[in-house]
Amino acid sequence: MAGQPNILTRSVARSSLSIRSKLMIAFIGITSLLVALALFGLYTLQQSHARTEALIRDQERIEYFNLIHGFVGDLIVLTVGQYTPSAADQGWSGTIFSIPVSDRVGELQAFIGRGVRRFGQPGMPDADLIARLRADLEELRPHAFETQRLRREIGKPAAAPYAMENLFEPLRAVQQNAYTAVQDIERDMAARAQSTALEYQASRRLVIASAAVAVGFALLLGYSISSSLLFPVRRIGQTLTEIANGSFTARVSVPNQDELGELANNVNVTSKRLGELYRKVESQRAELAVEHARSEALLYNLLPEKIAARLKQEPDKTIADSLPRVAILFADIVEFTPKAATLPAEELVNFLNKIFSAFDELAERHGLEKIKTIGDAYMVAAGVPSAVQDPVHRVADMALDMQRTIAEMSLDFPERLQVRIGLHAGPAVAGVIGNQKLFYDVWGETVNTASRMESLGEPGRIQVTQTAKDALGQNYQFAPRGKLEVKGVGHVETWWLTGQHVAPQV
């Protein structure tokens, strides 16, 4: 029998929920874990996406302010170039020096203005800086117009210091602000990149840990549910195997309160009832065995063993055998009828039972087959139902023993008992007759002659035919009786069997 389940399995098994509900809970629980893990992973991806977008935006801000820084640098070069005597005197045209400063300032204002929507909205990190740059350019714009006017009207180098002082320094301030903004953004980007890397590692570890926890919990939940189902199934299967092997005391004990618990209870009830039924059947089987033994004993008392075996194998077949050589003995208690009239029924039956029981023992000792008893008459045969060696010798020896037995039994009776015996040998027919009360009998002239030898004999003597005497030979003693008229046979030479020759002692 398998060991006891662990506490988790027992806890799940003791739940009164049905198996379908337990499986549904397990499915919903595992699905919820997977959904939660997917949502957590999606949240982590969203955070990474947001940080990536912030880095891209910072890169765009750097590019924006680098353009402003370059634009202002061009304005400074333009301002210095327009007031350099060599450049002015040479009259370079088609170059940057031919572009009015005021136009370039206007272009810078327009460029900064285009960035307001992306970088200068309220709440954005660069909103204040862009507003300040725009304000500085608004203040610088009149100086640009003034510088351009002085160049057209005067065109003398003497005005350069004044123009450069009012235009160059504000431009340097705008350039410095743009440069500072770029530096600040780059520092923020570096810090954000480092923070992003750290957050990525932390998120990665958190996702792995969450996945491990989710998988572990799913395995634990699946194990507890499956164990709460597999454990009782295994126990029930083992108990059913024991019951199938005949152990009706086997019982299954499971903690389940669901359908498997009900099944286990039904198995226990079935085992108990099968045990009760088995004991009842065994009791009936024992009774049947006793009755069968009685029936067998009765059958073997009624029929020879071989005949009974043949009858059991082929109950519908007629049993009839032609026997070429049998010896028949008839015996009759002399003066039995008058004695029977004076005895009570119980004493009469006891009287016959004692005599015939002694005869039965003699028949078994000499290997003879008892055929029947009719009143006080007793009939045995040798060579029935199977041939034997020396059948006449067997019945002759029994006849002599019957005389000695009767002589010994006479001592217990007030009157002397005598038995009249007749023997004959020859062919006969034997078989079973009857359907209800089976009876094995022997028929033929040999049987009739043996019966006549008994009925025509004398009390205390054994009468045999010439055929029987010839079969017995020189080992037995005889006295001549002479010829008798036997009804249906004619004259028959008969002899008295008086004993056996005793072998001389050496």
CA angle 124, 130, 133 (to 5 degrees): 165
CA 143 from centre of chain: 101
pLDDT at residue 90, as a whole number: 42
Give the integer Cα–Cα distance in Å for 368 and 382: 5
Q: How far apart are CA 179 and CA 464, in angstroms?
A: 159
* Nearest CA-CA partner of 161 in 79, 98, 103, 105: 79
Q: With left for phi above 0 and alpha for psi between -120 and 50, is residue 375 left, alpha or beta?
A: left
If residue 324 lies in a helix (H) or strand (E), which one and from where to where? Answer: strand 320-333
What is the rounded CA–CA span in Å between residue 93 and residue 88?
10
Token output for 450: 């043996």
> What interhelical angle do 7-14 and 160-244 show, nearest 10?
80
* Tokens of residue 246, six digits: 């005949």
Query: Beta-carbon neighbour count of residue 451 at 10 Å?
Result: 18
User: Range with the lowest mean pLDDT among 82-91, 113-122, 362-371, 459-468?
Assistant: 82-91
Distances (CA, A) of 35 to 32, 203, 387: 5, 18, 96
For residue 38, count other CB atoms closer than 10 A to its CB.
11
What residue spans of 303-327 are helical by DSSP H? 305-313
172-186, 375-389, 455-469: which range is least confident on average?
172-186
Please indicate whether residue 476 or residue 150 has the higher confidence score (pLDDT): 476
% helix / strand / coil in the chain, to the nearest 5? Answer: 65, 15, 20
pLDDT score, position 463: 96
Over 90: is that where the pLDDT of 191 sits?
A: no
More confident residue, 503 or 125: 125
Residue 436: CA count within 13 A, CB half-sphere: 0
Question: What is the pLDDT confidence band of residue 185, given thresholds at 50, 70 and 90?
Answer: confident
CA–CA dist 485, 496 (Å, integer): 16
Mean pLDDT along residues 5-26: 69
Rounded Cα–Cα distance for residues 118 and 132 (Å) = 16
Distances (CA, A) of 351 to 19, 41, 95, 314, 411: 81, 111, 167, 38, 13
pLDDT tens, 71-127? 778 777 766 665 554 444 444 333 444 567 777 778 887 888 888 888 878 888 888
Q: Which residue has the tokens 């002692």?
A: 505
- SS3 letters for 187-211? HHHHHHHHHHHHHHHHHHHHHHHHH
Residue 396: which H helix or E strand, with range? helix 391-409
Are 251 and 268 in contact, with CB atoms under 8 Å apart?
Answer: yes
Q: For residues 311 and 288, give the distance between their C-alpha atoms in angstroms, rounded to a whole number.
A: 20
Residues 6+ apart with CB under 8 A from 414: none
pLDDT of residue 1: 44
Q: Looking at the DSSP assignment, which residues form a beta bridge with residue 236?
A: none
Partnered with residue 484 across adjacent β-strands are: 492
Residue-level pLDDT at 93: 38
**Amino acid 332: pLDDT:** 93
**Distance separating alpha carbons of residues 394 and 468, to the nearest angstrom:** 11
Comparing CA positions, the residue from 383, 405, 400 lying closest to residue 392 is 383
Rounded CA separation 315/338 (Å): 43
Higher pLDDT, 362 or 261: 362
Which of 380, 392, 365, 401 lies closest to 475 in space, CA to CA? 392
Q: Is there a contact between 457 and 451 (Cβ–Cβ < 8 Å)?
A: no
Strand partners, 430: 321, 442
- Say what the pLDDT of residue 126 is: 82
Find the distance separating the first CA and the last CA of the chain, reported in whole Å.
79
Q: What is the pLDDT of residue 54?
A: 81
Angle at 161 between CA 159 and CA 164, to 5 degrees: 105
Q: Is 124 helix (H, G, I), strand (E, B) or coil?
A: coil
Residues with Cβ within 8 Å of 129's Cβ and at least 6 positions away in sequence, in order, are 177, 181
Of the ranges 85-99, 441-455, 491-505, the best mean pLDDT one: 441-455
Q: Is the predicted pLDDT of residue 152 greater than 70, yes or no? A: no
pLDDT tens across 349-360, in order? 888 888 899 999
Quote the pLDDT of residue 5.
63
Give the C-alpha separation, 166 to 187, whole Å.
Answer: 33
